[in-house]
Chain A
Amino acid sequence: MSLDPRLVMSSVIFGLSIGGIYFLLAIGLSLCFGLMRIISLDQLLYYSIGAFVTYSVGVATGQFWLGVAAGAAAGGLASLAVERLIFRRIYARDPTFSMITSFGLLFGGIGIIKFVWGVVPRPVEVPTLAQFDVLGTQIPVYRLIIVGIAVVVYALIWAFLHRTIVGKAIRAAIENVEHVEGLGINVGRLFTLTFVIAGALSGLAGGVYAPLILVDPMMGLEMLAFVFMVVIIGGLGSIKGTAISALIIGQVVSLGSLIYAPAAQMAPFVIMLAILLIRPTGLFGVALTRR
């Protein structure tokens, strides 16, 4: 079977952009797990909130990027509230415990979104319709912008974790919370900060992805399985692993649809099973110590 190279080219870009979205969502989930040992499904709620706020602010002001900023901020604020009210009480418990709680939050949040915005899917206008010519293939500039945002976020997070003292404390706490506390560092604050960063990134992901999909209350659930697979393949708690696996899954989904569209949705699952068979903690998963 021969594929049109131009089709492949645009497919690769498509895959990169969707991989970027996966990355923005999965990195929060992965960091939260690494540091707090929680599985925070409610990140997908902040993703939906980000998208809806982007929509509303965009409609009100006509400024898409202002909307995205507001969406990320809304995601961060919502996650701050949730962390203070709920997660703070359950850090000490088993990860699956937090998973159930966050599933409840995700659902309750969907209920609130339905209440506020209704169930009708909303379209968000693409901020730029410009196309970009790569070897005779027309690539939408907006897709490249998404890829750019994901790369910048990766770089910023890396720099934050390796170059700032707070980031170093977070890395240390991923290894051993108790020792960080023993040095006199308030670990609760690190938890809050990490959770809010994750929430804001999820909100950002919802905002930038909004123009390419329809914004509806269930959008988080549709994303859930893919984000999960990205996190699992990459290994919980690993930033590098998350980035690599987001890249892979993005390409599998987009290039896969060129070959046989329905199976493309299945392929990541098969890959996940295969990787779990070889390494039950994913590609770069941290070996967990009990706390």
Chain B
Amino acid sequence: MTAAKSLASRALSWWWGIAATLLATSLCAVLLPTPFMNEVMIFAIYVSGCNFLIGRLGFISFGQPAYLAIGAYCTAFYLFYVGTNPLVGLGVGVLGGLLGAIIIGPFFVRLRSDYFAMVNLALAVVLFYVTQKLLVSITGGDNGLWFLTQMQSTPLLDLTAPAQFLWFAIIVATAVTVMFKYLDGTIFGACCLASRLNEDKLQFIGYDNFKIRLVAFIIANTVTALAGAMYAIYFGFVSPEMGSPSRAAEPVIVTLLGGVGTLAGPLIGAFAYTGMKDVISNLIGNWELFIGFLLVFIMLVADQGIWGTLPPAARALLVHLRRAAGRARN
């Protein structure tokens, strides 16, 4: 009862921000092309898992495609082999991701952050192999699984219709954001942050570092799997390409692009990244070249991300202009 009450009171204190974002997103949903917005929204969910890992736990994972693929393939298996209801498929995907994270987590969260980053990338590569070569009889290898027309339409919001799927995606993205915002305010969120800053001291005051990290890992990667499941439903198709390690840096890049640990970061990053990708791919076609050096640039110059860099930069520019104007007057 009190938990619900504190949740409600806390929700009130920042619901303006959520409402404003929701409004802006809805406006974009009406104005911008639906496929673009769909990708942005799912991508934002995908990135928010990674954002939580980096921003709250200080763990950088280059293995996010692996967790994405787990969610996507679980959903795909259900919709391809068993049932037709995409909502159930979504549930299966999330459950699969949850299970995967519970199994993998205890191995990984014990590691130092640099080993963690590398082991995750290795996981992504191995899982890519599994879906592409090892389990060809189930996954269809590079041909993938195609079930777009097998899905039945759902009541209220028809997930098989892209335009309605978008509203579903916006709702899910909002729910995920609210959840992360809520977690930030709890003692668990504080512990995560503390474990990032000084794990020893956290142990001394009586919290189990391992458990905190494990729970955070499971939450983050279940959200990632949720994004995977949504991709699967939206495209009606999965292939190993989705979990390709060559895309391992994407969530990390977008997290950095948006600004680590900020709530709006994933959404802004996803917007910017998807937009750039569309424009650049059409323009020069050499996407790796651009994204690679963009990443280096971000790391060297603007490691606070768009959200963290632009406002201070704008302020500095303003001050500079004002001074220049003052000098001109004198």
Mark A residues whose CB is within 8 Å of B.
33, 39, 86, 89-90, 94-97, 99-101, 103-112, 114-115, 218, 221, 224-225, 228-229, 231-232, 236, 262-263, 265-266, 269, 272-273, 276-277, 280-281, 288
Contact = CB atoms under 8 A, between A and B. Distances in A.
Nearest to B252: A100
Interface residues of B, number: 43
A90 B291 CA distance: 19
A232 B119 contact: yes
Interface in B101-129: 107, 110-115, 117-119, 121-123, 125-126, 129
B299 interface: yes
Interface stretch (B83-91, B150-158, B186-194, B282-290): B282-290
30 contacts: A33-B114, A90-B300, A95-B113, A95-B114, A99-B60, A99-B62, A100-B60, A100-B249, A103-B252, A104-B293, A104-B295, A105-B292, A111-B286, A111-B288, A111-B289, A112-B289, A115-B286, A115-B289, A224-B121, A225-B122, A228-B118, A232-B119, A236-B115, A262-B133, A263-B134, A265-B129, A266-B130, A276-B107, A276-B119, A280-B112
Contact of B115 (A110, A221, A225, A280): A280
Nearest to A104: B295
Contacts of B293: 104, 108, 111
B53 to A, nearest CB: 11
Interface in B265-292: 286-292
B296 interface: yes
A127 to B, nearest CB: 30
The prevalent SS among residues of B at the interface is helix
Contacts of A288: 112
Contacts of A39: 114, 117-118
Contacts of B125: 224-225
B106 to A, nearest CB: 9
B245 A225 contact: yes
A231 B303 CA distance: 28
Contacts of B303: 97
B294 interface: yes
B42 interface: no
A104 B115 contact: no
Nearest to B125: A225
Nearest to A231: B118
A266 B122 CA distance: 10
Interface in B35-91: 60, 62
A69 B62 CA distance: 33
Contacts of B246: 218, 221
> Residue among A86, A218, A221, A224 with the most chain B CB within 10 A?
A224
B294 A104 contact: yes
A39 B116 CA distance: 12
Contacts of A273: 107
A103 B118 CA distance: 11
> Residue among A89, A100, A262 with the most chain B CB within 10 A?
A100
A265 to B, nearest CB: 5
B256 interface: yes
A107 B107 contact: no
Contacts of A221: 245-246
B118 A114 contact: no
Contacts of A100: 60, 249, 252, 256, 295, 299
Nearest to A217: B288
A225 B117 CA distance: 12
Given A108-B289, A221-B246, A276-B107, A99 B114 contact: yes
Nearest to A262: B134
Contacts of A108: 288-289, 291-293, 295-296
A179 to B, nearest CB: 23
Contacts of B130: 266
Contacts of B286: 111, 114-115
A103 B62 contact: yes
Contacts of A103: 62, 248-249, 252, 295
B103 to A, nearest CB: 11
Nearest to A110: B288
A11 to B, nearest CB: 20
